[in-house]
Amino acid sequence: MATVRRVRRIIRKIDPWTVLKVAAVVWAVVGLALVLGFVIFWAVLDRAGIPDQITAFLVEITLIEEGSQPFANTEQFLRFVVFGSVVWWVLMTGSTTAFAVVYNLVSDVVGGLEVVVLEETLNPVVAPQQQILHKPVDYRDGNGAVIPPADQADIPTEESPPIALP
């Protein structure tokens, strides 16, 4: 059986170095996912012939000249996407770290962020005590003094005389 109690915690400081490391990994993974997403999206658009249709439409409304191909250079588009994702990764990592530093400065003034957490503790199930089928043995001598068992002869009992220290 588990017992649950509400505990109030206050987050006062966030280590900027740790935030930098974690943010760098998280934003790198997100940047890689965005690059892969753009590559797949561009491949689908290119196979469907949509860039050619856009070019034909732009020629028809005379925004570009006949014969120009603004979407023909796929390699340049991919370089731009990779460069943009690296710049985005650096900016997001820096801004996340800067946010941690600003949070530390603000938490010094206002006291931090209060979070209520439920803390669960497991209580071991205690088996019910077995019935005592026999009467406990009373180790007493004829005068009523307690006689300890042989393996506990050195252990003083309540009725033992006090030990005098030098």
Mean pLDDT of 127-153: 60
Q: What is the pLDDT of residue 166?
A: 55
| Interval 22-36 mean pLDDT | 96
pLDDT higher than threshold 70 for residue 158: no
Q: What is residue 151's predicted lDDT score, i.e. its pLDDT?
A: 55
DSSP 160: S
- Give the integer Cα–Cα distance in Å for 102 and 16: 10
Q: What mean pLDDT do residues 111-138 have?
A: 72
Q: What is the pLDDT of residues 73-115, one digit of tens each?
A: 778 888 899 999 999 999 999 999 999 999 999 999 998 899 9
Please spell the DSSP secondary structure of 80-143, one letter per residue.
HHHHHHHHHHHHHHHHHHHHHHHHHHHHHHH--EEEEEEEEEEPPPPPPPPPP-SPPP--B-TT
pTM comes to: 0.59
What pLDDT, on the 0 to 100 scale, is given for residue 3? 83
Query: Across-strand partners of 115?
Result: 9
